[in-house]
Amino acid sequence: MAAKETYQNRIELLQGTLDMLILKTLQWGPQHGHGIGQAIRAGSGELLQVETGSLYPALHRLERQGWLSSEWKVSDKNQKAKYYRLTAAGKKQLVVEESHWKLLVRAITGVLKPAQ
Amino acid sequence: MVYHRLKSLFYRTVRRRQAERELDEEIRAHLAIDKQDRLERGEISEIAELNARQTLGNELLIKEVTRDMWGWMVVERMWRDIMYALRQLKRSPGFAAVAILSLTLGIGANSAIFSILNAMLFKSLPARAPDELFVLHQQSRATVPQRFSYPMFQRLRDAGSGAIGVAAMSHVTSAQTTVGPGAQSEVAPIQLVSGEFFPLLGFSPALGRLLTPKDNQILGGQPVAVISFEFWQRAFAGSSDVVGRSIRLNGSSFTIVGVAPEDFRGVWIESPTDIWIPLMMQANVHYAQNFSSHEDADPEKSWVPQEFIDWLDVIVRVNPSALSQVRNALNGVFLHSVESVTGKLGPETRRYFLERTLVLDSAAQGFSNLRQRFTSPLIAMMGMVALVLLIACANTANLLMARAEGRRREIAVRLSIGASRGRLIQQLITESFLLVGVATGLGLLLAQWTSDRLVRMAFGAAVPGPAPFLAGIDLHVLLFTAGISIATGLLFGLAPAFRATNLELGAVMKTAARNAPGRFRFSATKFLVAAQVALSLVVVFGAALFARSLHNLAKVELGFDREHVLTVWINPRAAGYDAAQLPMLYRRLVERTEAIPGVRSAVVSMCGLAVECRSTAGMKISGYEPAPGEEIRIQFSYVGPGYFSTVGMHLLNGRDFIPRDSGGQFAIVNQATVRRYFANRNPIGQRFGEKLQSEIIGVVQDARVNRVREEAVPMAYYPLRGNLVYAGSLEVRAAGDPNAIATDVRKELNAIAPDLPIERITPLALQVDRSLNPERMGSVVTTAFGILALGLACFGLYGVMSYVVSRRTSEIGIRMALGARPTHVLWTVLSEALTLIGSGLAVGVPVVFFASRSIAALLYGLQPNDPVTLLTTIGILTSVAVFAALWPAWRASRVNPVAALRHG
């Protein structure tokens, strides 16, 4: 009971950014869930650890929103996996989210500056 | 529609299955890839596997949260909950059966009673904009007729009052109807209507056309008829060439011009109408009922042109916003024409006419004579049946709690592996609603089946013609049933669900197979049982009051001899007899009937007994000074010589009519008249009547000629002979059983007057019995409710006592091992049951006193707080309840100490 609530909190906390990170990762080509998680971790210099319990719900949600599509493929290591791919709508969404993010960063930086 | 729903549900289920599989596979793939990565990084196989799983986290939870993203969750989850609930119920079929049965009976009974109430009170006429329909009534200090003459109707119609439309109609009457040459004649209900009737209601015909104002122009010259859809099906088998066929009504031929729409059975709720004809045809079908005449009126001539025969109900369609304006306009016209019409009358009579004002009452729900009489009994029944449902709810709640008790470990396990409490409550509620859903479906079937039977039982004999009104399941009833079902589900499902999921997890998990004592749960159960006892006391007491009322009514001293009289219902007017032919007809009827072996005497009279055939007249009485504003109204009847001895009323004073008496010259009055108007005076030889024209020659014993329930009213009897009054009945006194001579009487009458149809032949006892049909229906139904309530309460008590015994087996074992005797154990358990019963009664008795006052008016011959009935009820309830507790108590007394202690 308690565990579930924690997961939900994290999803909410990460929601905006996790979506963007997933979309960004998929910009370089189709990838399966595990790969996406690894890519984010590697890309963030091991700083961001994506919980599986947040990753898969997010993937399914993005797919439902039409920003991702998926297909089953066999990986180069001969493992069958579900590969996610960015759709045209997803690409547009990524642009929107990135600009939002930049705006947010600028705003927060602006707020933080005078205090220093 | 349903098919598409099912199809989409099917695809969803299939799609859903596939999605589930894919999700499983996706997570499996995730694990495999992670493990592979780890292996490549040099971890040992087992460790890699373990680490992969650990990093993944709670797999079930991930899946659950992911599934949440699919969006179709609400429906799917409900579906899964339903499947889960079904599996749960399948696991305890006994519980499911008992719960569904008691809820079905509760919901079904509620829907059935409500459907009757609905048909009487709430159902609108199937007319266009029924809320715009109003009926004209007259208000005055004195008793005034509620009907209008045809000329008055014309003036009201043509007044330009601002009403959208004005129509008039007669009462529904039965007519001898023959549908074709050589066809058997039958009695069909007909109604005379003005041409505006159908346009005003806004109907379109099912076939042909409906009546229009053009059909009501020529006095006696437009023999056209519209038939009901039902009559079309019944008498013509729905044949499409029915338009243009001819039909005979009371001897006159009519041409069918059309068929009314299927859902229209007439505007009188309890008298579905088969045939409508124009008002102009009144004299042709010898219509003569529900009318009042004054002054120079001659009821034997056509009524249409007559100013002083009031026989029409006037319906007005008014835009509700213009209501007061229309009422004022109509009142203006009414008063003006009454003034001019009554110009020649004396001042007293004029005042009687001029004091009236018109009011508009809503006619949206149609017309009913029974509405007023049946509303409060039906509401009382509704209250009782609601209590029965409450008892059923309490019962089911108890069963659910007992079951939750058995499922505590399961629930605790599910809570601890991460199911949220909300989800579990949702599932438990789903189970409750599944029970309610099934019970509602079955309950509606039950309601459909019973309401029809109840209506027939209550009204069947009171209404001639085809079926009485339909109390079917319509939208109102469905909404009502849905409403009570949801309330029911919440009422018995919510508390147990909340309680069941409110657990100290650790404690439950740790205790062994035997459950930890749940003190709170337990007393809630006891509370529910006590409440059931209290509620069932109310219901059983109500039922007992109704049963005793009926019993009192059945043995009321009626003042006539119901055992030996046979009533033959005749209608010489409808058969086309001329007034001049009547004396001859009556003499032959009486003489030939009296010649039949087994017949003591026979006599014709205006009305049969116990059918509420009421004719009254305003009168003056010599030597009696009415109080200001008091109006002397006396009910009257015309009877042949020897009437009183034939029906068994005793003449107390004076003499009976002899064949020489004629005209309104002589009269016999009853005791009530003497008591009321001749206190301390000898009535014999006194005069009374509209013009003091009648002399009292005798006093007859009081009799309940109208309704069994109604005390004798002041009454006057006039000699039939010489008054040329159409008789309604031939009363035949039999030497023995009146049933034995019925066939002979019918045969003889058919032989001497083949043109005089016999409407029916009824022994008086049966007629009286039938007049009590509504009361009997009420008593039967409430008794059924009482038994049901008692049964449910006892079932609850049995359940809780069994539970008590099973929990305390080890305690009882110890007691017995220490030397307690079985009788002592038996008594301990029984006394606990008695405490429950006693506390239920303690609450129930004051409630009973309060609640029964509301049905005081419905009772006969006993007070609503009748102590004997109350004590009997308590006695019955207690003994049945103790009996229910006896088995568990007996089982407790047979506990084997050794076995109990070993397992304890």
Which of A1, A34, A53 is closest, CB to CB, to B415? Answer: A1
B311 touches B291 (CB < 8 A): yes
Task: Check pLDDT > 80 for residue B462.
Answer: no
Q: Which of A61-65, B364-368, B518-522, B683-687 has the lowest mean pLDDT?
A: B518-522
Distance to chain B for A113, nearest Cα, Å: 38
* Nearest-by-CA chain A residue for B67: A57
A61:B69 CB<8 A: yes
* Helix (H/G/I), strand (E/B), else coil: B312: strand
Chain B: give the shortest CA distance to residue A83, in Å: 10
Q: C-alpha distances in angstroms, B155 versus B329, B359, B360, B570?
A: 12, 16, 17, 36
The per-residue pLDDT for range B375-418, each reduced to its tens digit, is 888 899 999 999 999 999 998 888 888 777 777 778 888 777 76
CB-CB under 8 Å, A75 with B415: no
Kindly calculate the radius of gyration of chain B based on its CA atoms and give it in whole angstroms: 37
Residues of B in contact with A53 (CB under 8 A): 57-58, 61-62, 65
Residue B503 predicted with pLDDT over 80: no
In angstroms, what is the C-alpha Rg of chain A?
16
Q: Cβ contacts (< 8 Å) between A66 and chain B: which residues?
A: none
CA distance B745 to B742: 5
| Subunit contact A82:B29, Cβ cutoff 8 A | yes
Q: Could you give the count of Cα atoms lying within 13 Å of B72 in the half-sphere of its Cβ?
A: 15
Report percent pLDDT > 90 for chain B.
36
More confident residue, B878 or B757: B878
Query: What distance in Å separates residue B81's CA from the closest CA in chain A?
Result: 19
What's the gap in Å between the CA of B16 and the closest CA on chain A?
Answer: 14
Residue A12 has pLDDT above 70, yes or no: no
CA distance B715 to B152: 31
Q: What are B846-859's pLDDT values in tens digits?
A: 999 888 888 888 89
Q: Would you call A15 an interface residue with chain B, using a CB distance cutoff of 8 Å? A: no
Q: What is the pLDDT of residues B571-602, one digit of tens each?
A: 888 888 888 888 889 999 999 999 999 999 99
Is B26 close to A81, i.e. CB distance below 8 A?
yes
Residue A4 forms contact with B (CB below 8 Å): yes
Q: Which residues pair with B124 in a beta bridge?
A: none
Alpha helices (runs of H) in B165-207, residue ranges in sequence order: 197-201
Identity of the residue numbered A2: A
**Helix H or strand E encompassing B639:** strand B633-639
Q: Cβ distance B77 to B346 under 8 Å?
A: no
Asked whether the beta carbons of residue B37 and residue A35 sit closer than 8 angstroms, the reply is no
With vertex at residue B361, the alpha carbon angle to CA B359 and CA B366, rounded to the nearest 5 degrees, is 145
- B483-487: average pLDDT: 89
Nearest to A64 among B58, B65, B71 (CB): B71
* Beta carbons of B29 and A57 less than 8 Å apart: no
B249 contacts B348 by C-beta, under 8 angstroms: no
Nearest CA in chain A to B62: A53
In chain A, the domains with their CATH numbers are 2-115 (1.10.10.10)
Q: How confident is the model at residue B876 (pLDDT cuts 50, 70, 90)?
A: very high
Instruction: Tell me which chain B residue has its CA closest to the CA of residue A60.
Output: B69
CA distance B418 to chain A (A): 4
Kindly determine whether residue A60 and residue B57, on different chains, have CB atoms separated by under 8 Å. no
Contacts of B289 (CB under 8 A, 6+ apart): B171, B173
Tokens of B279: 């008002």
- The reply to whether residue A80 touches residue B29, judged by beta carbons under 8 angstroms, is yes
Mutate to test the interface with A, among B21, B23, B66, B423 (most CBs of A within 10 A): B66
pLDDT at B877: 93
Which residue type occupies B413? V
Asked if residue A32 lies in contact with residue B29, where contact means CB atoms within 8 angstroms, the answer is yes
The label of the residue with tokens 């059918």 reads B611
CA of A22 vs chain B CAs: smallest distance (Å)? 16
The CA distance from B643 to B518, in Å, is: 77
A57 touching chain B per CB within 8 A: yes
Asked if the C-beta of A33 comes within 8 angstroms of chain B's C-beta atoms, the answer is yes
Render pLDDT for B417-440 as a digit per residue (tens, 0 to 9): 767 788 788 888 888 889 999 999
Structure tokens at B852: 């029964």
3-class DSSP assignment, residue B26 = helix
Quick check: B148 and B424 in contact, CB under 8 A? no
CB contact under 8 Å between B33 and A35, yes or no, is yes
**pLDDT per residue as tens digits for the range B214-231:** 999 999 889 999 999 989
Enumerate long-range contacts of B658-664, CB under 8 Å, 24 or more apart.
B659/B721, B661/B697, B661/B719, B661/B721, B661/B722, B662/B719, B662/B721, B662/B722, B662/B723, B663/B719, B663/B722, B663/B723, B664/B689, B664/B693, B664/B694, B664/B718, B664/B723
Shortest CA gap A77–chain B (Å): 9
Q: What is the pLDDT of residues B799-818, one digit of tens each?
A: 888 888 887 888 888 888 88
Contact A82 B26 (CB under 8 A): yes
Nearest to B57 among A52, A79, A80 (CB): A52
Q: Give the DSSP H or E segment for B717.
A: strand B715-719
More confident call, B864 vs A14: B864
CA of B72, closest CA in chain A: separation in Å? 11
Q: Does A91 touch chain B (CB under 8 A)?
A: no
Structure tokens at B667: 């009269």
Chain B residues close to A82, C-beta within 8 Å: 22, 25-26, 29
**pLDDT at residue A9 in the model:** 38
pLDDT score for B469: 64
- DSSP letters of A73-102? EE-TTS-EEEEEEE-HHHHHHHHHHHHHHH
Give, as one character, the DSSP assignment of residue B148.
Answer: B
Residues of B in contact with A56 (CB under 8 A): 23, 26-27, 30, 62, 65-66
Residues in chain A: 116
Say what percent of chain B tops pLDDT 70: 93
Tokens 């009403």 correspond to B163
> Average pLDDT for residues B765-785, to the nearest whole number?
88
Chain A residues in contact with B65 (beta carbon < 8 A): 4, 7-8, 11, 53, 56-57
User: Tell me, what's the pLDDT at B778?
Assistant: 87
Shortest CA gap A32–chain B (Å): 8
pLDDT of B521 strictly over 60: no
What are the pLDDT digits (tens) for B4-37? 666 666 666 777 788 888 888 888 888 888 888 8
- Please name every residue paired with B136 in a beta bridge, in sequence order, or none if there are none: B360
- In chain B, what residues touch A11 (CB-CB under 8 Å)? 65
Substitution target from A52, A67, A68, A75 for chain B, most B beta carbons within 10 A: A52
Amino acid B133: pLDDT = 94
Judged by average pLDDT, the poorest of B312-321, B657-666, B824-833 is B657-666
- List, for residues B716-756, the tens digit of each pLDDT value: 999 887 667 888 899 999 998 999 999 999 999 988 888 88
Encode burial over B558-596: b for 16+ CB neighbours within 10 A, e otherwise. Answer: bbbbbebbbbbbbbbbbbbbeeeebeebbeebbebbeeb
Q: Cα–Cα distance between B651 and B649 in angstroms, integer?
A: 7
Helix (H, G, I), strand (E, B) or coil at B286: coil
Cα of A104 to nearest chain B Cα, Å: 27
Tell me: pLDDT of B829 over 50.
Answer: yes
**What's the whole-number mean pLDDT along residues A53-61?**
87
A vs B, Cβ pairs < 8 A, gives 77
- Please name the member of A4, A38, A64 whose beta carbon is closest to the beta carbon of B61: A4
Q: How many angstroms separate the CA atoms of B822 and B814, rounded?
A: 12
Q: Is the Cβ pair A34, B33 closer than 8 Å?
A: yes
- A83-96: per-residue pLDDT in tens? 999 999 999 999 99
pLDDT in tens, B265-297: 899 888 889 999 999 999 999 888 888 877 678
Query: Can you give the three-state secondary structure of B811-862, one letter per residue?
Result: HHHHHHHCCCCHHHHHHHHHHHHHHHHHHHHHHHHHHHHHHHHHHHHHCCCC
Q: Give the tens place of pLDDT for each residue, B159-211.
A: 888 889 999 999 998 888 888 777 777 888 899 999 999 999 999 999 999 99
CA-to-CA separations, A73 to B15, B465, B817, in angstroms, rounded:
20, 79, 74
Burial class (CB in 10 A: 0-12, 13-18, 19+), B285: buried
Interface with chain A: mutation pick from B15, B27, B30, highest number of A CBs within 10 Å: B30
Q: Is residue B793 over pLDDT 80?
A: yes
The residue type of B484 is I
How does the average pLDDT of chain B come out, rounded?
86
- DSSP secondary structure, A13-64, as one string: HHHHHHHHHHHHHHTTS-EEHHHHHHHHHHHTTT-----HHHHHHHHHHHHH
Name residue B246's amino acid: S
Say yes or no for a CB contact (<8 Å) between A1 and B419: yes
CB proximity A77 to B under 8 Å: yes
According to DSSP, residue B253 is labeled: E
Residues near B401 by Cβ (< 8 Å), separated by ≥ 6?
B496, B499, B500, B521, B524, B525
Mean pLDDT over B356-367 rounds to 89
* pLDDT of B518 over the 70 cut: no
Nearest CA in chain A to B64: A57
Of B111-125, B141-155, B308-322, the range with the highest mean pLDDT is B308-322
